[in-house]
Structure 1
């Protein structure tokens, strides 16, 4: 497919969906032609800002677009994405891929059957800061991932594990490069009906351990990753855009140039569409992160541990 002919759309124009619309409108790799939201006024406002068509039903995009970003609430991911995939439309779906592993597996199967790209919005994979950390860290023995911030009152339809920690689950899986064999976790609800903070300890088949800390009721903003291998410690501050490498008395700090990670994510998606290749963060990666997230939430709830399954068929 000629990238100049890729007609794009966005479904769901809330907080993050509006950013998707802006990036699609600015992209040189596709042409934004329509946006969709059940709120007609919101759809009209975003459409007017970018000079495109507004619709209130995602199915009205069928026949008008070749690729879409889906940024609706998680509970609607499967219904919306399955309609679009079945119509042969390439889909970039915000994380988590779906609200259950079963729904995620169904989306993956539908995309494979239709031969379309299914990409999951694990945006930190496109962060140059994470790329530098991964290169410097190699295969660490221990990981510490922290993603905390003050209460914003959004995305409370899902647990903090699916809202925030899911990012770091994906990054931990990427850095560890092995299957999760054991999960311990704790968390609690504070202001939302579901957990607002969570701590998880993951043990991987290759002996790597990862401690994950997520909160949406913290007194500060922090997004950091620490990778440890003996005396060598590599620390990334995703917000400050720095990577620090410490080993013994030696300390080296790497400043990473500014970037727009959402623009990079969308560009990668449209490149996959144009070149007919799999997404960098495909449905299998989204499913693997979701399966681990389910195990963490189960551990918090005190449910019996499930057998390890990072995304394969049951």
Structure 2
């Protein structure tokens, strides 16, 4: 398969590096970025052809990764469809649900595949966690995804950029659909930079999600409280801690409390991006179902939009209240 990368920023470079390492699966034809200085740097670093225009690249590839700011996903997606190119679009799929649905429909009409970059679903830790919850009754999820502030994030919504990962992860881990949600946060430069959301599922379980660009350190954790255990997972180091009650045994020196057993699981590192790209290439090559469909991207985007709207409306309401006092 002939592949290309549109966008050579931090994440775009990772796509270039991953495709280069997948030479048994594909041929990296070239890259494009309207930032010519950055594109030239990546072209030289990875010895890959730099194309002068998107259309020239699209004429000679089967697949592209679209790794540009979200506001350009729709426009570039339409170009890919025009030139019959399958696409992997980094999350979120587009700026809004209407644009996403139109892209998906137009791609289907031409027999093209759109996969969304929900990369955490290729993290082996998430798959292990999902397996561990099969016979557990979940009470609650407590999820934290935080990063230090970077000037490049000045106009970026933390819900769309960080929390979206945990939205689609919960879709995998939870056993029922969302029945309700609410959210609060802090808005800086007209976009949420710290967000806290509470989600209620139809089976009664709840989830508390926190995402922030205002943390002093990088954090990626998921805790799951079940009727029989507490499972704590650190996505950064692949560490899972499981605390379970040993049924039928009592600690008579500690007020007859149930004895607890702690198990530690170390998940070996695997390059999730390479897994994701390899899976997408195989799906296109063999015409098999996608692991992450465009519709999955729409669902995650819709939930994120609801959360962002809650935060903005609550901030607006607070300002109106304070102005009247």
Q: What TM-score results when the alignment is normalised by the length of structure 1?
A: 0.90
Which residue does the alignment assign to 2:249? none
Q: What is the deviation of 1:179?
A: 2.4
Q: Is this contact kept in 1: 2:65–2:88, CA < 8 A?
A: yes
Which residue does the alignment assign to 2:56? 60
- The runs of 5 or more residues in structure 2 that have no matched partner are 246-259, 315-325
- Determine the C-alpha separation between the residues in 1 that align with 2:306 and 2:124: 29
The yes-or-no answer on 1:11 pairing with 2:6 is yes
Q: Is this contact kept in 1: 2:241–2:265, CA < 8 A?
A: yes
Q: What is the deviation of 1:268?
A: 1.2
Q: Is this contact kept in 2: 1:183–1:201, CA < 8 A?
A: yes
Which residue does the alignment assign to 2:318? none
Q: Find 2:81's aligned residue among 85, 88, 91.
A: 85
Q: How does 1:148-167 map to 2 (within 5 A)?
A: 148-167=146-165
Q: Please give the secondary structure, in 1, of the residue aligned with 2:306.
A: helix
Q: Please give the secondary structure, in 2, of the residue aligned with 1:134.
A: helix
Q: How does 1:118-267 map to 2 (within 5 A)?
A: 118-138=114-134, 140-190=138-188, 192-248=189-245, 249-267=260-278
Deviations 1:153-173 (A, max 9, x none): 234433100010000011111
- The runs of 5 or more residues in structure 1 that have no matched partner are 1-5, 304-314
- Determine the C-alpha separation between the residues in 1 that align with 2:275 and 2:151: 27
> How many residues end up aligned between the 2 structures?
297
Q: What is the deviation of 1:273?
A: 1.2
Q: Find 2:309's aligned residue among 282, 298, 303.
A: 298
Q: What is the deviation of 1:193?
A: 3.5
- Determine the C-alpha separation between the residues in 1 that align with 2:168 and 2:182: 17
Q: What is the deviation of 1:189?
A: 2.3
Q: Please give the secondary structure, in 2, of the residue aligned with 1:143.
A: strand
- Determine the C-alpha separation between the residues in 2 that align with 1:136 and 1:123: 20
Q: What is the deviation of 1:131?
A: 1.1
The yes-or-no answer on 1:102 pairing with 2:80 is no
Q: Is this contact kept in 2: 1:180–1:292, CA < 8 A?
A: no
Runs of 4 or more off by more than 3 Å in structure 1? none
Q: Is this contact kept in 1: 2:184–2:310, CA < 8 A?
A: yes
Which residue does the alignment assign to 1:310? none
- Determine the C-alpha separation between the residues in 1 that align with 2:108 and 2:244: 45
- Determine the C-alpha separation between the residues in 1 that align with 2:176 and 2:295: 14
Q: What is the deviation of 1:39?
A: 1.5
* Greater fraction strand: 2
- Determine the C-alpha separation between the residues in 1 that align with 2:84 and 2:175: 32
- Determine the C-alpha separation between the residues in 2 that align with 1:81 and 1:231: 46
Q: How does 1:273-288 map to 2 (within 5 A)?
A: 273-288=284-299
Q: What is the deviation of 1:236?
A: 1.0
Q: Please give the secondary structure, in 2, of the residue aligned with 1:288.
A: helix
Change (3 A) 1:285 1:223: same
Q: What is the deviation of 1:205?
A: 2.2
Larger gyration radius, structure 1 or structure 2 = 2
Q: Please give the secondary structure, in 1, of the residue aligned with 2:191.
A: coil
